[in-house]
Structure 1
C-alpha cells in the first residue's frame, strides 16, 4: 500500500472503558480500520487526562483510574479517512475526533522522502 506524501491524520480521543459491540472501543476501531484497508492504526494510552466531563483520569497509584485516556491515530489518504468517518461516528458514543493534514516522509521500508516546502 502506498500512502501519498500529503495525507490526513485522524485522532480519536476516547476512554479505556469505552465499549462497542461487546468489546473495547479502541480494538473495534483498529479492527474496522484494518477491514477497510486503511494504511495503519496505533493506540496510545495516556497517563493522565480529562475531557468534556472535566473528570481527571490518572494512572497514579493512589487514584488508579479504570478509564485512562486513549488516542487512536490513523494516517491515510484524505478520501480513505473521509470514508471511515461515518463508520467511526457510528461506533463512538462520545469523545473527540480531530483531523489534520500531515506530510508522510516514510511508510514501510524505503527512502525517506524530502519534505515539501512550507509556505
Structure 2
C-alpha cells in the first residue's frame, strides 16, 4: 500500500425514513456525490442506534424497527467535500455531518 494523499471524510448520519422530495435522502446524497464527480460514496445500514430523539432503533427481531440508522461516507479532497456539502445544505438541514482528515492509501492496480 502506498500513500496517495490526504483527503477529507464526510460522514453523514441519517435514518431510513429520511427523504428529500419523495426520494430516499441517502440515495440523494450518493447521487449528488456522483453527479459532482467525487471519488466515491458508501451507504451503510446500522444494526442499532439512536440520535437526538434518544429513541433506540434496532434490527433485533422483536423490535420490528423499519427506521434503522444509515451512515453515508464520502472521501475526497476538502474542496470537493465542502462543495458537496454546500449543494446538500438544504436536504441535510438538521442532520449531523462529521468531517475528518484522512490519509488515503492505495494498493497496486490489479
Q: Helix, strand or coil: the match of 2:53? A: coil
Which ranges of 4 or more aligned residues in structure 1 deviate by more than 4 Å?
A: none
Which has the higher relative contact order, 1 or 2, with Cα contacts under 8 A spaced 6 or more apart? Answer: 2
Q: How does 1:1-119 map to 2 (within 5 A)?
A: 5-106=5-106, 110=109
List per-residue Cα deviations over 1:27-68 (Å, max 9, x = no partner): 011011100111100000000000000000000111011110
Q: Helix, strand or coil: the match of 2:8? A: strand
Unaligned runs of 5+ in 1: 112-119
- Which structure has the highest strand share of the two? 2
Task: Tell me the number of residue pairs that the alignment of Structure 1 and Structure 2 aligns.
Answer: 107
Q: Helix, strand or coil: the match of 1:28? A: helix
Q: Whole-Å Cα distance in 2 between the matches of residues 79 and 45 of structure 1? A: 27
List per-residue Cα deviations over 1:59-90 (Å, max 9, x = no partner): 01110111100000000011000111112221
Shift of 1:93: 4.2
TM-score (structure 2 length as normaliser): 0.91
Unaligned runs of 5+ in 2: none
Q: Helix, strand or coil: the match of 2:52? A: coil
Q: Whole-Å Cα distance in 2 between the matches of residues 54 and 99 of structure 1? A: 23
Shift of 1:95: 2.2
Q: Helix, strand or coil: the match of 1:89? A: coil
RMSD: 1.6
Q: Whole-Å Cα distance in 1 between the matches of residues 11 and 90 of structure 2? A: 16
- Residue range with higher mean Cα deviation, 86-95 or 49-58: 86-95
